[in-house]
Chains A and B, each alone.
Chain A
Amino acid sequence: MDKATRVLIADDHLAERQGIAKILGSAEGIEVAGQVGQIDLILDEIRRIRPDVVLMDLKWNEDEEAGIKATAQIKQLLPGIRVVAISVYDHLIPEALKAGADAALTKGFSREELLQAIWAE
């Protein structure tokens, strides 16, 4: 059997991190390897945890560009890591994809959509 896909949840909202963690907790083949709630700690956490996938919230504390910048940084420094952008704001999604995000979800997503975005090639 393959190793579990290790996921890092990057989101400034605690309830959202916990929600994603709970949804993924019951999914087979996925391990929530870590959660990070501060944008400037994401890269450190990625280096420490070595996740396969980062779930990246795009808006951090009113800063709409924060997640997009972090996405670009991750894809530049650690291109092997899959980044799934998550946002309430439709208009941020194209920017995130341009910055290199491998998939994107708006926040009304279902459990299936989340799992699909994590797995999809």
Chain B
Amino acid sequence: MTGRATKPIRVLIADDQIVMREGLKRVLESPDDILVIGEASVAQEVLGKVQDLQPDVVLLDLLWFSDESAGVAVLEQLKRATPQSKVVAITAYDDLIEKARRAGAEAALPKGFTVEELISVIRSVHRSPGFPAAAAETGRLDDILSEREMDVLALLVEGLSDREIGERLFLAESTIKKHVSNIRDKLGATNRTHAVSIALQKGFLQK
């Protein structure tokens, strides 16, 4: 035998529907390396529970009592306040999945998932190293971003468009778009303006 027993992945289930909560719990009973440590059934209690219980992974439903924005709003809160907990967004709606990714979910699952898919997503987000938004909270910008991304960010802060940034750096607009999207992801920003505001909050100009 090598190594010590690994600790189970601690999971919090956040869903307004009892059916989904019970179903997820039941599905997650079988793997030994996953432990459901709590659940939240109203959007307002998710943040508090995550802060109290500090789960490794939050399974977050995006649609709460027919409110499509509730889940994404909770997700943004979590990414700011408890970035060490990784979030798997669950929803029946494809357009919400895209929004969840942009808001910083580490993974998103459409509701038609299989047991295997659910378990493997939980394991893989848990394993995934270097949580970008966490780094964004605590780390220095130049630890988080590559040199080239720092160049792009400097011009983003000036308010230039992707095309203009490309012209300044002698790079294709498509390359800039890719850099901007990486910057956004690494900073846990929802869009480019948000990325700029995070950069400014972190004292980008005084660097």
Q: Which residue of A19, A21, A88, A111 contacts B24 across the interface (Cβ within 8 Å)?
A: A19
Chain A interface residue count: which class? 20 to 34
The answer to the question of B114 belonging to the interface, with a C-beta cut-off of 8 Å to chain A, is: yes
Q: Is the CB of B23 within 8 A of A15?
A: yes
What does the 1/0 interface line of A90-121 toward B look like (CB < 8 Å)? 10000000000000000111110000000000
Q: Which of B18, B23, B65, B118 contacts A17 (CB 8 A)?
A: B23
- Complex CA gap A60/B114 in Å reads 15
Listed in ascending order, the chain B residues whose CB lies under 8 Å from chain A are 16-27, 63, 65-66, 92, 111-115, 118
**From A105, which residue of chain B is reached at the shortest CB distance?**
B19
Answer whether A19 and B20 are a contact pair too, CB < 8 Å, given A14-B27, A108-B65. Answer: yes
Say yes or no: A19-B26 contact (C-beta < 8 A), given A13-B111, A88-B92, A108-B65.
yes
A20 at the binding interface (Cβ < 8 Å) = yes
Which residue among B19, B25, B115 has the maximum number of chain A CB atoms within 10 Å of its CB? B19
21 pairs, CB–CB < 8 Å, chain A vs chain B: A13-B23, A13-B92, A14-B23, A14-B113, A14-B114, A14-B115, A15-B20, A16-B19, A16-B23, A16-B111, A17-B23, A18-B27, A19-B17, A19-B21, A19-B22, A19-B24, A21-B26, A22-B22, A88-B66, A90-B66, A110-B18
Which residues of A come within 8 Å of B, CB atoms? 12-23, 59, 61, 88, 90, 107-111
Query: What residues on A are CB-neighbors of B92 within 8 Å?
Result: 13, 59, 88
A58 shortest CB reach to chain B, Å: 12
In the complex, the answer to whether B18 meets A109 with C-beta atoms within 8 Å is yes
Residues of B close to A88: CB separation below 8 A: 63, 66, 92
Q: Report Cα–Cα, A23/B92, bound state, in Å.
A: 21
- Interface majority SS (helix, strand, loop, mixed), chain B: helix
Do A23 and B115 form a contact, CB below 8 Å, given A15-B27, A107-B17, A108-B65? Answer: no
Q: For A16, what are the chain B residues with a Cβ–Cβ distance below 8 Å?
A: 19-20, 23, 111
A22 adjacent to B26 (CB under 8 Å): yes
Rounded to whole Å, the gap between the CB of A53 and the closest CB of chain B is 16
Q: Tell me the bound Cα distance from A90 to B63 in angstroms.
A: 14
Minimum C-beta distance from A101 to chain B (A)? 18
* Distance in angstroms between the alpha carbons of A7 and B63 in the assembled complex: 28
Q: How distant is A24 from chain B, measured CB to nearest CB, in Å?
A: 10
10 further A-B contacts with Cβ under 8 Å, apart from A18-B27, A23-B22, are: A15-B24, A15-B118, A18-B23, A19-B18, A19-B19, A19-B22, A20-B19, A20-B22, A22-B26, A107-B19
Nearest chain-A residue to B19 (Cβ)? A19
Q: Which A residue sits closest to B63, measured CB to CB?
A: A88
Residues of B within 8 A of A20 (CB): 19, 22-23
Complex CA gap A48/B108 in Å reads: 37
- Whether the pair A108, B16 counts as a contact (CB closer than 8 A) is yes
| CB–CB B112/A12 < 8 A | yes
